[in-house]
């Protein structure tokens, strides 16, 4: 071997450092980054799912409203569905008559209807006594708070007073048993004065922010989690 060539071997301390791998701090940092990425993906997927549910709910509301408008224009509502005392849960009646399309029938039993958040959480109640102005309520139970806000904003994006456009939106009511009376809602917002604002919708959907009055100025913190007992829309002819 030529005299000017030699080999340098790593010292034991250098070898030990190479074999040691990542430190606990480095592993913790990597795990933190991964968890943040997964959290972002999970949140984005949740938002997409909520948007899909809201779209389905608005479609459901519009279909039932169209069918109900046709029924009321034919005079069926006044003569055949009086409710004393009002309101009454008429979900089964409207499933049987086809006003609520069969695609929303929970179990083909014609007694309960489904919504995108709750398999038995869609209720249609008749609000009028015989001879009174025909009024009915569509209720979505078990809606998430974020879904509640978006559902209210989309469902009320119409001209108040026109057929198929809600006149009042309510939140906070308790789902009635089949054939029982619909429990009055906790908070209500009159839509006859115009479309509802996003802040009002958020207040309606957050019971802690608006516990007693129909409109309040507390702006809830997002993202809102949990569910609302009900989101209820009243209609008239």
Query: pLDDT digits over 157-175, tens only?
Result: 888 767 788 888 888 766 6
Structure tokens given for 172: 């906070």
Per-chain mean pLDDT for the chain: 75
Task: Return the bridge partners of 232, or none.
Answer: 139, 170
Q: What is the pLDDT of residue 56?
A: 95
Q: Please write the tens of the pLDDT for every residue from 17-26.
A: 555 567 888 8
Q: Is the pTM of this model over 0.85?
A: no
Q: What is the pLDDT of residue 219?
A: 36
Mean pLDDT is lowest, of 96-105, 143-152, 184-193, 209-218, for 209-218
Higher pLDDT residue, 153 or 41? 153
Residue 227 per-residue DSSP state: E
CATH number for the domain formed by residue range(s) 52-236? 3.30.1690.10
Q: Is there a contact between 171 and 149 (Cβ–Cβ < 8 Å)?
A: no
Please give the biggest Cα pair distance in the chain.
116
**Closest to 205 measured CA to CA, from 160, 161, 148, 132:** 148
R_g (Cα) of the chain, nearest Å: 28
Confidence of residue 201 (pLDDT cuts 50, 70, 90): confident
Q: What is the pLDDT of residue 33?
A: 84
Classified as helix, coil or strand, 189 is strand
């Amino acid at each position: 071997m030529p005299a000017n060539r030699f080999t340098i071997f790593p010292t034991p301390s250098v070898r030990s450092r190479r074999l040691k791998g990542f430190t606990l701090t480095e592993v913790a940092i990597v795990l933190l980054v991964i968890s943040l990425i997964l959290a972002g993906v999970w949140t984005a997927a949740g938002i997409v799912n909520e948007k899909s549910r809201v779209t389905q709910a608005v479609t459901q509301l519009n279909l039932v409203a169209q069918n109900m408008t046709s029924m009321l224009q034919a005079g069926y509502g006044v003569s055949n569905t009086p409710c004393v005392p009002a309101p009454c849960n008429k979900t089964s009646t409207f499933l049987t008559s086809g006003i609520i399309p069969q695609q929303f029938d929970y179990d083909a039993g014609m007694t309960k209807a489904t919504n995108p958040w709750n398999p038995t959480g869609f209720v249609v109640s008749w609000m009028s006594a015989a001879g009174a102005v025909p009024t009915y309520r569509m209720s979505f139970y078990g809606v998430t708070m974020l879904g509640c806000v978006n559902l209210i904003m989309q469902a009320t994006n119409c001209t108040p007073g026109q057929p198929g456009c809600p006149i009042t939106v309510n939140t906070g009511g308790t789902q009635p048993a089949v054939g029982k009376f619909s429990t009055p809602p906790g908070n209500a917002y009159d839509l006859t004065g115009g479309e509802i604002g996003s802040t009002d919708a958020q207040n309606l959907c957050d019971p802690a922010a608006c516990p007693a009055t129909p409109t309040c100025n507390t702006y809830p913190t997002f993202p809102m989690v949990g569910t609302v007992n009900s989101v209820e829309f009243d209609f008239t002819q």
